[in-house]
Structure 1
């Protein structure tokens, strides 16, 4: 069928129209994302003419196109015809899904019969029609055939409908019983089935959605200062590896290394971003490239590829993976500058343009110009990534991807995914929301977020709902309280309790979170006038006294949070967050819930988090929970285990809490489900 304008193709709506399918971006141009074991919400608007009942089914298809599973969708917005079901893929690959709308003859009959028989209208006719509907349901064969046990329930209901010795209302009640409805919910009788388009769903490994990252500058670990010569000696990959057991003990999944490549000397930055470096200043590792090599080389003071391989092997032996920074820029000393000057921008005076973000200037960095030789640059970057993949890197944190062409990233990420689907890319794009979301849609697995600057109750509640909402099938948030570039005001003034608050929020507010080395020490002194630490590690060596971490308790808290995350599958999901009202403007409450049908343990998992975001004062108030949404009884209290403190309580829909930041900044509570609970 043709539309009236510009020869546009118009797809027929079908007999039972299925509209506004979710998760779908640009009519399927960008696949939705999931990971193995993720409970994926599928939604659609399903309508029909008249008053007859309808139903909807979500169908999940394996990479080979065969049906993996299906689920009847429930009406999540009565009156708006919006339906939802959740399905769980169990392997990686290029999956797909669709939604089927259908006429529900049993639902139509049940509605009409309940009214007419009660009113004495067409009584025998209605009971006879019910008999025919149930007999149809029982007679189905093949894939639609129901088990003998379920079929017996319907056969008994047919017998009751035909038993004229019983009162009509009793006969009707047998056909409308809870048992009959449950059988037909599992094995619905579907007429006029109308399918939506089939939409793509790419399924990654679990670490693409859920994991904990620890950032470190290898050169600081093991660095020493000679008082006599006033010179530093850099730490190495070997000395940095000595920190891996400590990091693993805190439960981290990924060790992320800032650039480890040779650092240029031309316009090298000094301490605290000084324009002139003093003798011995190591320079920024983001000023990549020297006569010793470029992005495919290792800074000689850090060691060799043998040392790097040993670092990776040690991390793996401790259950951790290694991520490496990808910063697509060059120092003036990078081999690319001599070998490929066309890869950069030449200004009118013949000089190569350095990086600028006016009024900021980065004279030690030349940005790449992707328009002059896009194929040459692409081939080189793809080669460089392969070097590190071959040496065991399984994740890349990409510096400022929003300053490079999206077409470049889309091609590169697809290429790497095709050859190495295990590789994960984290986007460091603190930029406009539309750009962040588009980077996610074209292939980045994870993204830094604005969580770092969300501090008030209203801000946090809105942001938690947003990142777990309609953007979640594409933009997987990674919550970082700080980075090597960012020390937000909240942590400048919040003390140790502030660091604890933000750790709890990050670790439970998102399936993926990370900390920058030194978080355990609550490093909070800013460089005057900017939101970054004084004596920034990006420009100097910064060895630390890790024994102080035990006294502060942040390392112990981080370790416990990561332990809790691993124990509770609800905290490993994104699209299951619910914000709950509280009576105090410094108490933030949210929950994550998995029902038994979608939990990998086969048991429901409900975690409720209550945080006092005031790091300076005791806060108390009430939290309102609708326990029924978790499949829990509302007529009696439930056992609540605080998995952070080890204490247990009895909670109901209204809970009084009191949190002293000097003792506990938060409750992280597991609600106990009785056997058989949803």
Structure 2
């Protein structure tokens, strides 16, 4: 990646493709192999590459790392005298040449096998020596002399005689645990769980870690494995924002934005006392773990005006011409309750402080960080910080919340971020989504996507106006296209009312407590939770959906429909999805499936079982599909070959 400047990415158990262009002069056979080493320099099994399309000199293979850490590999090209000999002899015999014509070939082949006998496993040595002896035995027929040597093709492919070896430089692959690629995230505000509010959203009771822990089993029951919390630190009191981002907060009433971090109660290493204590937080993490969930913590490097840093380290901020500290702005938006960090004034001091803070939370059980706006900080800082954290605990993961330019998003991935938010929310047609998925698949070696239909900041107009069918559509797309996806609480309740003129929720939870009637929604059936549960179960039960390199699109003659498949090469598990982008109308389409990508021959018939409805169909390459968004806006098929 970037000519080897940055490590490529993989996860434990992933089939990592290795490709090279390798060629040589003349007609001698060429061999290409990968030499790879584990995190502690241990040698891994010999992996030989196979040639690709004729005439392109491209070689391909896969490696499968099985441990977390820093792996390295080189590619070697070599002269393969056995393969050269074998190709020549089979051609000459095929042309009718006899013993007299092949005398030199037989002798040269025996010499090659003498070399091979010193390379192959001990159990195979005698077989190779016997084949060499047969080549030299003039009392045998041509067939009996040559056959034992020709039968060594597979053995000497795996254990070749290598001459004139040339090698590339060493390249690095950082291998994460599997959750780095495959994960299901759920976001909620702990302060809203168990909270009570009165008229005009006046807080009566503030949620705590203890009350929020009561919501964890329901989140786990929906099939999520990561629970993401907005910042849990003390919230600034100076310039605190009121409901709906108003400039003036009601004293003692409005709870403020969790992203306005820090007050006289502490900073980034402290906990908002209204939520509880550090021990309460540890207990909360324990409940999550007991339910199969990891906690993802928000890392937002910014400060409220009354953060302790403002007094102890004013040089960490930007001072304007009038002597005041600059608050955050994203014109025309203003964030008077937040001071951005200036990394130019004291980079060493800031680095050491942030490292201390992150390690503090790692020591308290946090292994995943969702990083707020990382693109507004220097890349060399993140590269330094992530490498330092990984050196202490290689299992720690970082999600970049960077809705920014593609090059910057890619750069954050290259320097170490584990996953990234994406433009998924704004890809609202089948054509746009197909094109975008092609871009993401091509960049998977350095940037792993995490798809979110909604966030506290983002309520796309498709959800504002598309009704429950659109909620299903966006959830299917997020969970079936990407190995990692996430959602913000309220999606399952079809929350869809935006602040006028803005792509965000009215009465935004960023600025107020928002208790939800989960039990009432379950009683009335007005909840998407069972559907989300089904989708997450499908993801768990089908390993094909846990990867991205295997994504393939198929042709369908309706631009409102998208058809794609994923196939797991090791298990053969194959999932075929057809999803509508139209939440209001019935759509028909005719498929033209790329059968080999499904593991099938072009003429084969097969059975598909819809994992949502349970219906079964007999299919082939060409099939007619009808999708009614008010019944089900998507088919999620498991493919069963007839064999």
Asked if 1 retains the 8 angstrom alpha-carbon contact of 2:109 and 2:132, the reply is: no
What's the counterpart of residue 286 of structure 2?
A: 313
The answer to whether 1:419 aligns with 2:392 is yes
What is the aligned counterpart of 2:38 among 26, 37, 62?
62
Contact 2:182/2:546 (CA < 8 Å) preserved in 1?
A: yes
Is 1:28 the counterpart of 2:4 in the alignment?
yes
Query: Which of 93, 98, 105 is matched with 1:129 structurally?
Result: 105
How big is each residue's C-alpha offset from its partner over 1:151-176, in whole Å with a ceiling of 9 and x where there is no partner?
5899499789989868x8x999x689
Q: Which residue of the other structure, out of 290, 293, 305, is the alignment partner of 2:266?
A: 293
Deviation at 1:585, TM superposition (A): 0.9
Matches within 5 A, 1:265-276: 265-276=237-248
Look up the SS of the partner of 1:302 in the other structure: coil
1:226 aligns with 198
Which of 571, 575, 580 in structure 1 is aligned with 2:554?
A: 580
Structure 1 residue 514: Cα displacement: 0.7
1:329, CA displacement in angstroms? 0.7
Q: Say which of 605, 615, 619 aligns to 1:651.
A: 619
Alignment of 1:463-502 (within 5 A): 463-469=436-442, 471-502=443-474
Within the candidate set 368, 376, 390, 2:341 is matched to 368
Determine the C-alpha separation between the residues in 1 that align with 2:162 and 2:628: 57
Q: What's the CA shift for 1:618?
A: 2.0
1:534 and 1:228, CA in 2 relative to 1: closer, same or farther beyond 3 A?
closer
Q: Alpha-carbon deviation of 1:339?
A: 1.7
Inter-partner Cα distance in structure 2 for 1:156 and 1:128: 14
Unaligned segments of structure 2, at least 5 residues = none
The answer to whether 1:208 aligns with 2:204 is no
Residue of structure 2 equivalent to 1:669: 637
Tell me the equivalent position of 1:21: none
- Residues 273/62 of structure 1: CA separation in 2 closer, same or farther (3 Å cut): same
Contact kept, 8 Å, 1:328 with 1:368, in 2: the verdict is: yes
Counterparts in 2 of 1:504-653, with a 5 A limit? 504-547=476-519, 549-550=521-522, 551-552=525-526, 554-596=528-570, 603-653=571-621
Question: Which of 47, 58, 61 pairs up with 1:71?
Answer: 47
Alpha-carbon distance between aligned partners in 2 of 1:59 and 1:49, rounded to the nearest angstrom: 23
Q: Distance in 2 between matches of 1:515 and 1:130?
A: 68
How much does 1:516 deviate? 0.7
Q: CA deviation at 1:507?
A: 1.2
Alpha carbons 2:603, 2:621 under 8 Å: kept: no
Are residues 1:383 and 2:356 paired? Answer: yes
Go from structure 1 to structure 2 and tell me whether the alpha carbon gap of 1:530 and 1:324 turns closer, same or farther (over 3 Å shift): same
1:627–1:634 Cα contact (<8 Å) kept: yes
1:667 deviates by 2.1
Matched, 1:43 2:19: yes
- Cα 1:546–1:442, aligned 2, differ >3 Å: closer, same or farther? same
* 2:75 alignment partner, one of 96, 99, 103: 99
- In structure 2, relative to structure 1, the CA distance for the partners of 1:671 and 1:120 (3 Å cut) is same
Report the CA distance shift for 1:410/1:653 in structure 2 as closer, same or farther (over 3 A): same
Deviation at 1:343, TM superposition (A): 1.2
Contact 1:479 1:514 in 2 (8 A): yes
User: Which sections of structure 1, spanning at least 5 residues, go unmatched?
Assistant: 1-23, 597-602
8 Å contact 2:80–2:161 — kept in the other structure? yes
Distance in 2 of aligned mates of 1:163 and 1:535: 95
Does residue 1:458 correspond to 2:431, yes or no? yes
Q: Which SS does the other structure have where 1:478 is aligned?
A: coil
In 2, Cα distance between equivalents of 1:161 and 1:665: 72
Contact 1:214 1:517 (8 Å CA) reproduced: yes
Shift of 1:236: 1.3
Task: Answer with 354-363 or 61-70: which moved more.
Answer: 61-70
Partner of 1:5: none
Contact 2:574–2:638 under 8 Å retained in 1: yes
Q: CA 1:88/1:526 → structure 2, altered by over 3 Å: closer, same or farther?
A: same
Q: CA deviation at 1:65?
A: 2.4
Range moving further from structure 2, 49-58 or 512-521: 49-58
Rounded Cα–Cα distance in structure 1 between residues aligned with 2:463 and 2:57? 46
The SS at the match of 1:308 is helix
- Tell me: CA distance 1:572–1:230, structure 2 relative to 1, closer, same or farther (3 Å): closer
User: What is the rounded CA distance, in whole Å, between the counterparts of 1:59 and 1:671 in structure 2?
Assistant: 36
Task: Specify whether residues 76 and 492 from structure 1 end up closer, same or farther in structure 2 by C-alpha distance, changes over 3 A only.
Answer: farther
Cα pair 2:46 2:158 within 8 Å, conserved: no
| 1:425 positional shift | 0.8
Indicate the larger mover: 430-439 or 567-576.
567-576
1:127 shift after superposition: 8.2
Q: Contact conserved, 2:299 with 2:370, CA < 8 A, in 1?
A: yes
The answer as to whether partners of 1:238 and 1:307 remain within 8 angstroms in 2 is yes
Q: Report the alpha carbon displacement of residue 426 of structure 1 after superposing the two structures with TM.
A: 0.7
Q: Any idea what the Cα deviations from partners look like across 1:378-435, whole Å, max 9, x if unmatched?
A: 2221222122222211111000001011121111111111112121111101111111
Q: Distance in 2 between matches of 1:295 and 1:672?
A: 52
The change in CA–CA distance for 1:347 and 1:165 in structure 2 (over 3 A counts) is: closer
TM-score (ref. length: structure 1): 0.87
Q: Hey, what does 2:305 align to over in structure 1? A: 332
Once the 2 structures are TM-superposed, how far is the Cα of residue 649 of structure 1 from its aligned partner? Answer: 2.8
Q: Secondary structure at the match of 1:144?
A: coil
Query: Cα gap change, 1:158/1:619 in structure 2, threshold over 3 Å: closer, same or farther?
Result: farther
Aligned partners of 1:584 and 1:180: how far apart in 2?
53
Q: 1:302 to 1:127 in 2, by over 3 A?
A: farther
SS across alignment from 1:646? coil
Q: Retained in 1: the 8 A contact 2:383–2:415?
A: yes
Instruction: Check whether the contact 1:212–1:254 (CA below 8 A) recurs between aligned residues.
Output: yes
Of 182, 203, 216 in structure 2, the residue corresponding to residue 244 of structure 1 is 216
Q: 1:624 to 1:132 in 2, by over 3 A?
A: farther
Q: Per-residue deviation at 1:526?
A: 1.6
Contact 1:131 1:162 in 2 (8 A): no
Q: SS at 2:537's partner residue?
A: helix
Does the C-alpha gap of structure 1 residues 594 and 231 become closer, same or farther in structure 2, counting only changes over 3 Å? closer
Instruction: State how far apart, in whole Å, the 2-side matches of 1:570 and 1:146 are.
Output: 39
Q: Are the equivalent residues in 2 in contact too, given 1:158–1:175 (CA < 8 A)?
A: yes
2:121 is aligned, of 130, 145, 153, to 145
Partners of 1:673 and 1:58 in 2: CA distance: 34
